[in-house]
Amino acid sequence: MSVPDYMQCAEDHQTVLVVVQPVGIVPEDQFFRIYKRIASVSQVNIRDSQRLLYIRYRHHYLPENNEWGDFQTHRKVVGLIAITTCSSAKEWPQTAERFHGQKEVYSSTLYDSRLLVFGLQGEIAEQQRTDMAFYPSFENCSDVEKRVEDFVESIFIVLESKRLDRATDKSGDKIPLLCVPFEKKDFVGLDTDSRHYKKRCQGRMRKHVGDLCLQASMLQDALVHYHMAVELLRGVNDFLWLGAALEGLCSASVIFHYPGGTAGKMAGRKPSVSQPADAGKRHRPGALTANGISADTSTEIGRAKNCLSPEDIIEKYKEAISYYGKYKNAGVIELEACVKAVRVLAIQKRAREASEFLQNAVYINLGQLSEEEKIQRYSILSELYELIGFHRKSAFFKRVAAMQCVAPTIPEPGWRACYKLLLETLPGYSLSLDPKDFSKGTHRGWAAVQMRLLHELVYASRRMGNPGLSVRHLSFLLQTMLDFLSDQDFQWVQGDVCEVQLMVYNPMPYELRVENMVGEFITTKLLSFSSHPQCHFVSLVQKYLHLQILKHLFGKSCCLSSQQVPSRSFFKFNLFVFKISLCLWFVSAEKVFGEFLNWELEETLSHLPLKPGQAVTLTINIKVKLDFSGQENLLQDLNDGEWTQKFTFEPQGNRMSVSTCQCKPILEAVLNFKYSGGAGKVEGYYRELSLGVHVDVEPSVFFTRVSTLPATSTRQCHLLLDIFNPTEHELTVSAKNNQELVLHASECQRMAIQVDKFDFESLPQLDQETARFTNPKQLEEERHHAQGCQINSKLENFVLNPSHPSLRRRGEASVEGVLNQLVLEHLQLAPLQWDVLVNGKPCDCDVIADCKVGDAVTLEVKLTNRSKNSVGPLALTVVPYQDYQNGVQNYDLEDTVTFIGSNTFYIDTVKPKESSLCVGALLFLYTGDFYLNIKFQDDSAGRELPLAWFTLPSVHVRALDTPLQAGA
């Protein structure tokens, strides 16, 4: 076994395992609706008996776990309930065959099975069969629970039969040796006549009979068999099975002491519909104390001769786990035993001992785990620590699980899940997000850990695309943790105005006059200070004086101009000669922001050198690239006035006023000009001029929502874009091969563009050497970027033209940033390419194939496999029908259309880059419009391919009259 069941508890040893699985194509919501009803029958009172049978249901169970069924019988799949849909009698043989194939997977352990068929009516459905039940629909199936109860009773009959056979085995010394999968090769060639071997067989069989007795609700017998198995297996040092016998003994004792269960409040066992209210007390009497331990067990089960005491249960669990630890292949068994013991200790309120079991569980090696399995493991450890009251330890493991959600090896990090898990760790670290819970002078918890956690919340919220939330967490960090932040998590930024406070102490017995003291003792070439010119007096009472000094970092550039730019614009700067006698003849400039600023110096340089009094103009082009994507709730946010705001502070007398403005993306750059001339150039001197450019960028459109719709052709689809105009002017949006869309101010409209699907597999791939040394996350980002560029190359950019005559700017908007993964999948050509030809002509995109009545019509279906793996085998069935265009479709065309040969095509395995062709023929006996519905049947087991890969184009055939021959 490789995947542990972290929800296992001691009472699960008393259950029988039933797997509920879909067969064929069953809607997921309908399957789980029926599964929930089936799982509600969790225990059944057996008729003519005072015993209960407990059932554990799973809709997914690994076959490799089933191989451990002899080791612990509650791991053995003994029942199978299959759910399927079937609409016609023609589909029934395939459905029944699939059901029998599903039973083969668990055939070695299965006691009984049932098939629930939905949608089939008629002669087949009217048959009375014990292994199948037929229902007309998922809504009309009122007796599902009753049929499940009958099914459980049939399982009990087989279970009881096996228990009696094993308990009264007359085979003497020829008892078979039960094994776990990895042991089988170790017992090849052993002497089967030795006394040691026979005792091993007897001990394992006794343990197995104890499991069967426990499942059959014979608690007393189970305890006796477990004790006998322990003595036999201990004598031959059969440690793995000795551990299993000890764990079985613990489980039976836990079931006796804690009839309410150990899995939590939700796991309390309730009687089923057919069970009397007091049936659960008949085989497990005894009053319970407040902590769930039996008040007096001396009168039960022979003065507790066989049942372990609550203290002994834990000691035997420790011993069993130590034996499991000797086998590296029993890691899952060891881990689950630790979890079961922790749940028992939690009820006994022995938290410290429970933590020792959990600490052991942390270091159990299960081999290579996937990222999802690691997240599950750490999350369960967190829940168990929370169960025993170790809140800080619980928070630690939950935080580890959160970090695992965004591990570098995950192609698409789950920042939202990471953020959610981090929030759940706050109580464990004594941290509240309510500032009112922080009082001055007192602090609960470790401040260093709390600050680290808040930093992680800030980063996670920013990475999941919620900058507003990130700012709120950062503000909270500054508000509540300022006393613990060092002068270093703060940095002064060039050009920003900061505040310096000086604390002045007056040691003299009289007042001192302090005036303009900054210039006296603070001097530096990198800092520029402006101090308060007022005089301050430090009195005897005050002793201290706070001076506020505004500090400016050197190099703050002046702001030339600002302008709202949709996507392209330009500024013109006039360069003037500062002195009449200076001859300016050399100009150079450095590009700072790549394509953000562009200029051509040739025209300017042709006018140099400048004579006194002359000027030259240099044109600077500004081009910005924006993200035009917007969330679906953008319009609502704009209407509610919840636009992000930027606060500016302005001094007014002795107080500060606050004004707000809408926050827009800001781009800044510094243009450095060097010039020289005259005698200065001869000596090698030059002057520098730095001019700052400050641009507020405002997108002219937002793509608030992007989705797709299928087109009539399987090679095309419709790209739907909701475009919002946030400007105050009318805007014209035009796209490739599409009509212009006129958007009024603050208006949102939808544009539909029919596009050919893209073959992303044809994109150039990185060579293996480069890919091996590249971060998987970076590879995924490069792949998405390449896909977006390919789509943009086909769509071209959207052209934006403001209709207002004063706005002579023309921009372009790209959809690269708004194409999420879902839309990309819908825009991608399916790796399985289907081509259908009628009489040699392809049928796709509303193409109607004409034929003559009475003439043979050839039908070809070609499958081209462009995926990286082989597909198949597949079966295609051609079903003709007529559409009356009123919601009615006629499939009863046996006298109208006939097939020459079979109407079913079989496609064997198709390898990557290869094709398979199926050829058949039809004969139309009457005129009319006919459609061919081509259904596929996947005969491979365990298919996980998307249904979109198997979408075939619709086929429309028009049968026409055969023209009469002349003279006929």
pLDDT at residue 637, as a whole number: 42
pLDDT at 147 exceeding the cut of 80 = yes
Under 8 Å CB-to-CB from 741, ≥6 apart: which residues?
723, 732, 733, 734, 749, 751
State how far the Cα of 701 lies from the Cα of 750, in Å rounded to an integer.
Answer: 12
pLDDT at 121 exceeding the cut of 60 = yes
pLDDT at 317 exceeding the cut of 50 = yes
State how far the Cα of 932 lies from the Cα of 955, in Å rounded to an integer.
Answer: 5
- Is there a contact between 733 and 752 (Cβ–Cβ < 8 Å)? no
pLDDT at 929 exceeding the cut of 80 = yes
SS (H, E, C) 164-232: HHHHCCCCCCCCCCCCCHHHHHHHCCCCCCCHHHHHHHHHHHHHHHHHHHHHCCCHHHHHHHHHHHHHH
CB neighbours of residue 418 within 10 Å: 26
Under 8 Å CB-to-CB from 163, ≥6 apart: which residues?
209, 212, 213, 216, 218
Under 8 Å CB-to-CB from 759, ≥6 apart: which residues?
828, 829, 866
pLDDT at residue 406, as a whole number: 92
- Is there a contact between 924 and 897 (Cβ–Cβ < 8 Å)? yes
- Is there a contact between 645 and 662 (Cβ–Cβ < 8 Å)? yes
What letter does residue 948 receive in the DSSP assignment?
A: G
* Every domain range in the chain assigned CATH 2.60.40.10: 832-960
State how far the Cα of 11 lies from the Cα of 250, in Å rounded to an integer.
Answer: 10
pLDDT tier at 176, thresholds 50, 70, 90: confident
Classify residue 544 as left (phi > 0), alpha (psi -120 to 50) or beta. Answer: beta
- For 708, the token pair is 């797709």
pLDDT at residue 600, as a whole number: 80
Architecture label for domain 10-168: 3-Layer(aba) Sandwich (3.40)
Q: What is the mean pLDDT of the segment spanning 515-520?
A: 49
pLDDT at residue 309, as a whole number: 92
Q: Which one-letter amino acid corresponds to residue 393? A: K
State how far the Cα of 758 lies from the Cα of 738, in Å rounded to an integer.
Answer: 19
Q: What is the separation, in whole angstroms, between the first and last Cα of the chain?
A: 79
Buried (b) or exposed (e) across 852-867, using 16+ Cβ within 10 A?
eeeeebebbbebebbb
Q: What is the mean pLDDT of the segment spanning 572-601?
A: 43
Sheet containing strand 841-842, strands side by side:
841-842, 832-838, 856-865, 915-924, 897-900
- Report the alpha-carbon angle 347-350-356, nearest 5: 115
**Crossing angle for the helix pair 144-167 and 195-215, to the nearest 10 degrees:** 150
Average pLDDT over the chain, rounded to an integer: 76
**Crossing angle for the helix pair 415-424 and 447-463, to the nearest 10 degrees:** 150
pLDDT at residue 275, as a whole number: 36
pLDDT at 20 exceeding the cut of 90 = yes
State how far the Cα of 865 lies from the Cα of 833, in Å rounded to an integer.
Answer: 7
pLDDT tier at 524, thresholds 50, 70, 90: very low
pLDDT at 540 exceeding the cut of 60 = no
Q: Which residues pair with 800 in a beta bridge?
A: 733, 811
Q: Determine which of 246-250, 370-374, 389-393 has the lowest per-residue pLDDT on average.
A: 370-374
Q: What is the mean pLDDT of the segment spanning 114-128?
A: 89
Q: Kindly indicate whether the domain formed by 832-960 is annotated with CATH number 2.60.40.10.
A: yes
Q: pTM of the predicted model, to two decimals?
A: 0.52
The Cα-based distances of 84 to 98, 362, 579, 948 in angstroms read 10, 41, 93, 21
Using DSSP, state whether 625 is helix, strand or coil.
coil
The Cα-based distances of 518 to 527, 528, 552, 785, 832 in angstroms read 12, 11, 14, 54, 77
pLDDT at residue 539, as a whole number: 42
- Is there a contact between 718 and 790 (Cβ–Cβ < 8 Å)? no
- Is there a contact between 343 and 361 (Cβ–Cβ < 8 Å)? no
pLDDT tier at 818, thresholds 50, 70, 90: low
Nearest CA to 943 out of 98, 106, 110 is that of 98
Q: Determine which of 24-38, 768-782, 911-925 has the lowest per-residue pLDDT on average.
A: 768-782
715 by Cβ neighbours in 10 Å (0-12 / 13-18 / 19+) ranks as middle
Buried (b) or exposed (e) across 801-810, using 16+ Cβ within 10 A?
bbeeeeeebe
- For 442, the token pair is 């007192």
Task: Return the higher-pLDDT residue of 184 and 412.
Answer: 412
pLDDT at residue 213, as a whole number: 95
pLDDT at residue 549, as a whole number: 30
Q: What is the mean pLDDT of the segment spanning 904-914?
A: 86
- For 637, the token pair is 């946010």
* Every domain range in the chain assigned CATH 3.40.50.2300: 10-168
Q: Which residues pair with 598 in a beta bridge?
A: 621
pLDDT at 730 exceeding the cut of 70 = yes
For the ranges 122-126, 568-572, 637-641, 660-664, the maximum mean pLDDT occurs at 122-126
SS (H, E, C) 35-81: HHHHHCCCEEECCCCCCEEEEEEECCCCHHHHCCCCCCHHHCEEEEE
- Is there a contact between 672 and 620 (Cβ–Cβ < 8 Å)? no
- pLDDT > 90 in the chain, percent: 29
pLDDT at residue 627, as a whole number: 66
Give backbone dihedrals phi and psi of 882, rounded to 5 degrees, phi first.
-120, 135
pLDDT tens digit sequence for 592-616: 344 677 778 888 888 888 888 888 8
pLDDT tier at 300, thresholds 50, 70, 90: very low
- Is there a contact between 870 and 895 (Cβ–Cβ < 8 Å)? no
Q: Which residues pair with 666 in a beta bridge?
A: 696
State how far the Cα of 367 lies from the Cα of 374, in Å rounded to an integer.
Answer: 11
State how far the Cα of 908 lies from the Cα of 939, in Å rounded to an integer.
Answer: 10
Under 8 Å CB-to-CB from 99, ≥6 apart: which residues?
23, 82, 84, 115
- pLDDT > 70 in the chain, percent: 71
Using DSSP, state whether 871 is helix, strand or coil.
strand
Q: Which one-letter amino acid corresponds to residue 778? A: Q
Task: Return the higher-pLDDT residue of 291 and 361.
Answer: 361
Q: What is the mean pLDDT of the segment spanning 162-177?
A: 76
pLDDT tens digit sequence for 703-712: 777 787 777 6
Q: What is the mean pLDDT of the segment spanning 254-279?
A: 60
Task: Return the higher-pLDDT residue of 734 and 806.
Answer: 734
pLDDT at residue 537, as a whole number: 45
Sheet containing strand 615-623, strands side by side:
568-576, 615-623, 597-599
**Crossing angle for the helix pair 467-481 and 447-463, to the nearest 10 degrees:** 170
Task: Return the higher-pLDDT residue of 888 and 153.
Answer: 153
Q: Determine which of 395-399, 409-413, 659-663, 922-926 has the lowest per-residue pLDDT on average.
A: 659-663
The Cα-based distances of 587 to 596, 619, 622, 686 in angstroms read 20, 13, 20, 10
pLDDT at residue 399, as a whole number: 94
Please provide the size of the chain in residues.
Answer: 968
Task: Return the higher-pLDDT residue of 696 and 120.
Answer: 120
The kind and range of the H/E element at 310 are helix 310-324
Task: Return the higher-pLDDT residue of 535 and 719.
Answer: 719
pLDDT at 215 exceeding the cut of 50 = yes
Q: What is the mean pLDDT of the segment spanning 562-585?
A: 33
pLDDT at 565 exceeding the cut of 50 = no
Report the chain's C-alpha Rg in angstroms.
40
State how far the Cα of 862 lies from the Cα of 876, in Å rounded to an integer.
Answer: 11
pLDDT at 578 exceeding the cut of 60 = no
Using DSSP, state whether 826 is helix, strand or coil.
helix
pLDDT at residue 944, as a whole number: 59
pLDDT at 97 exceeding the cut of 90 = yes
Q: What is the mean pLDDT of the segment spanning 347-355?
A: 93
pLDDT at residue 770, as a whole number: 59
pLDDT at residue 398, as a whole number: 94
State how far the Cα of 400 lies from the Cα of 614, in Å rounded to an integer.
Answer: 69
Task: Return the higher-pLDDT residue of 169 and 549.
Answer: 169
The Cα-based distances of 567 to 513, 612, 802, 805 in angstroms read 58, 38, 12, 18
pLDDT tier at 889, thresholds 50, 70, 90: confident
pLDDT at residue 883, as a whole number: 86
pLDDT at 383 exceeding the cut of 60 = yes
Q: Please, what sign has the CA dihedral across residues 515, 516, 519, 521?
A: positive
User: Parallel, antiparallel, or unpaired for β 615-623 and 568-576?
Assistant: antiparallel
Q: Please, what sign has the CA dihedral across residues 660, 661, 666, 670?
A: negative
Torsion angle of C-alpha atoms 70, 75, 78, 82, degrees rounded to 10: -140
pLDDT at residue 827, as a whole number: 76
Q: Determine which of 91-95, 531-535, 784-788 has the lowest per-residue pLDDT on average.
A: 531-535
- Is there a contact between 428 and 391 (Cβ–Cβ < 8 Å)? yes
pLDDT at 439 exceeding the cut of 80 = no
pLDDT at residue 649, as a whole number: 31
Q: Please, what sign has the CA dihedral across residues 736, 741, 744, 749?
A: negative
pLDDT at 18 exceeding the cut of 60 = yes
Nearest CA to 635 out of 724, 516, 534, 545 is that of 724
- Report the alpha-carbon angle 634-637-643, nearest 5: 100
Q: What is the mean pLDDT of the segment spanning 847-868?
A: 87
pLDDT at 55 exceeding the cut of 90 = yes
pLDDT at residue 574, as a whole number: 34
Task: Return the higher-pLDDT residue of 175 and 15.
Answer: 15
